[in-house]
């Protein structure tokens, strides 16, 4: 009998737990550890942030689903991993601290045969001085943050209705922040909401980003096929912002925020300030802050995790010039190189390098996006890890049949604005692969047949459909396993 412990119940962890439980008999135990009692479909937080959805429409209680699936759920925060056991525990275990109100702060050691670290990122607001989603700027990274963002946006809209012009800034809140797509989508939704209320003449909207060129999205940009032509995402993105009369600041690393100003540095090393009345800035991401300890209690965190707190996996972490990095550097099975029974899919794994070219200001400040790993890629990784663990449990063999390299994986991104079946538009973009493979696709780095972009109402319908489809899947409703990641 095997016990599989999954840390985190986001897209990657929830997917992994679901498939492990489905594929293994009930003699095996699946335990999910998450500090939150609810699952949230993060892509729809954007709609909460503009008042088109309520938190209850993008969340559900995990206990109800896990009880039905026969998964042991622990509402707790993982403090440390002990992959060799210790003096009292022969088996590997994780030490957790309960956040469940009924067991608040109780500590427990949970043994495992296989461990899936799918904790995702911690939102490192502290990495930018003054960045605080409760006091100054807002965020849409969680449904709670998005709800607060809508409260603040309503105050801004009310001021505009009274005739006050408002300065709105949306974008990246750290020189190396990622999730440009989410911030970009929120920018368009805010602009749509303002325009629909006839207040466009009262709004000054600015998109601020650490991208060298717009449309980079942490993927080094792309060339997309659109209307029979090949267009760089730079042109694609700039045209959309121009249509909404949104100005932009690129190559900017936000370093400080106060109640009314944003300080940023550009690649020329120049320091600038930007005034705001309402600002939504995405923070830096970091690992979940777990420690790792050896059998004798020695700290082995650096052995298991990268300096940013993300877990090392089967990637090539050799330091080398950007031009020498390869698609083959990226992991395929998300297995720890030091402990064969530990896996880390989704945002929890440490990328071997950035996809976008690293850029440094004249003052030595790195200003470029970190690699995105949210949504569809996270789900695919979670499923692949689950299937490989199932094989290990059933066959006890170390050869893996399932692989999910981001250099062999496609992804779709839908940036939607507006809401409803008749009102809205979306910029739909697919890329294959996510990580460019310049050896296989020397002209564009990607297969241009599958890297396409379109703008229109149809994409908005797809976004709405995906919202309900993925929640259907996550809730384990009939035939959930047939739906794609």
What pTM, to 2 d.p., does this model score?
0.95
Question: What is residue 230's predicted lDDT score, i.e. its pLDDT?
Answer: 87
Among all chains, which residue has been given the structure tokens 């569809």?
A: 376
Render pLDDT for 3-26 as a digit per residue (tens, 0 to 9): 999 999 999 999 999 999 999 999
Strand-pair partners of 124: 284
Give the CATH class of 3-123+286-395: alpha beta
The DSSP-derived string for 89-149 is -SS-EEEEEE-SGGGTT-EEEEE-SEEEE----EEEGGGSBT--TTTSSB--SSHHHHHHH
Task: Classify residue 268 by its DSSP letter.
Answer: T
CB 279 within 8 A of CB 256: no
Question: What is residue 416's predicted lDDT score, i.e. its pLDDT?
Answer: 79
Question: What is residue 352's predicted lDDT score, i.e. its pLDDT?
Answer: 96
Torsion, Cα of 333, 334, 338, 340 (10° steps):
-50
Tokens representing 375 are 């949504």
Question: What is residue 376's predicted lDDT score, i.e. its pLDDT?
Answer: 85
* Angle in degrees, CA 390, 391, 393, rounded to 5: 65
CB 342 within 8 A of CB 314: no
Question: What is residue 456's predicted lDDT score, i.e. its pLDDT?
Answer: 75
Residues in the chain, pLDDT under 70:
398, 421-422
Question: What is residue 158's predicted lDDT score, i.e. its pLDDT?
Answer: 98
Render pLDDT for 112-139 as a digit per residue (tens, 0 to 9): 999 999 998 899 999 999 999 988 999 9
Q: How many CA atoms lie within 13 A of 429 on its CB side?
A: 24
């Amino acid at each position: 009998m095997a016990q599989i412990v999954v840390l985190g119940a986001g897209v990657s962890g929830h997917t992994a737990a679901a498939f492990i439980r489905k594929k293994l008999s009930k003699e095996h135990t699946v335990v999910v550890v998450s500090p939150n009692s609810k699952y949230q479909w993060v892509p729809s937080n954007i709609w909460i942030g503009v008042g088109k959805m309520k938190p209850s429409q993008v969340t559900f209680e995990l206990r109800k689903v896990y009880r039905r699936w026969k998964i042991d759920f622990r509402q707790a925060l993982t403090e440390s991993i002990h992959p060799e056991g210790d003096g009292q525990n022969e088996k590997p275990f994780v030490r957790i601290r309960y956040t469940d109100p009924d067991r608040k702060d109780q500590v427990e050691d949970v043994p495992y045969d296989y461990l899936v670290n799918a904790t995702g990122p911690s939102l490192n607001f502290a990495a930018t001085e003054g960045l605080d989603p409760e006091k100054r700027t807002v965020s849409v990274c969680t449904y709670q943050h998005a709800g607060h963002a809508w409260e603040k946006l309503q105050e801004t809209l009310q001021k505009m209705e009274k005739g006050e012009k408002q300065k709105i800034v949306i974008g990246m809140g750290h020189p190396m922040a990622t999730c440009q797509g989410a911030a970009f989508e929120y920018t368009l939704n805010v602009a749509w909401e303002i325009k629909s209320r006839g207040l466009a003449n009262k709004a000054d909207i600015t998109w601020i980003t650490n991208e060298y060129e717009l449309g980079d999205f942490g993927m080094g940009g792309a060339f997309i096929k659109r209307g029979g032509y090949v267009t760089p995402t730079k042109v694609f993105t700039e045209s959309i912002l121009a249509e909404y009369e949104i100005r932009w600041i690129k190559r900017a690393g936000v370093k400080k925020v106060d109640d009314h100003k944003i300080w940023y540095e550009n690649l020329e090393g120049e320091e600038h300030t930007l005034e705001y009345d309402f600002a939504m800035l995405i923070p830096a991401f970091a690992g979940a802050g777990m420690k790792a300890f050896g059998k004798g209690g020695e700290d082995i965190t650096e052995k298991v995790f990268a300096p940013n707190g993300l877990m090392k996996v089967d990637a090539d972490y050799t330091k080398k010039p950007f031009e020498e990095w390869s698609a083959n550097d990226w992991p395929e099975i998300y297995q720890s190189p030091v402990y064969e029974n530990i896996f880390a899919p989704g945002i929890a794994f440490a990328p071997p390098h950035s996809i976008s070219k690293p850029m440094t200001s004249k003052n030595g400040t790195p200003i470029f996006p970190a690699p995105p790993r949210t949504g569809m890629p996270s789900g695919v990784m979670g499923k692949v890890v689950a299937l490989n663990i199932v094989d290990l449990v059933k066959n006890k063999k170390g050869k893996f049949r399932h692989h999910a390299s981001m250099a062999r994986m496609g992804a779709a991104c839908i940036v939607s604005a507006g809401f409803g079946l008749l009102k809205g538009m979306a910029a739909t973009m697919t890329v294959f692969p996510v990580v460019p493979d310049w050896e296989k696709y020397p002209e564009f780095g990607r297969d241009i047949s599958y890297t396409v972009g379109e703008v229109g109402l149809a994409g908005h319908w797809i976004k709405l459909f995906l919202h309900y489809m993925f929640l259907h899947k996550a809730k384990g409703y009939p035939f959930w396993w047939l739906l794609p990641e």
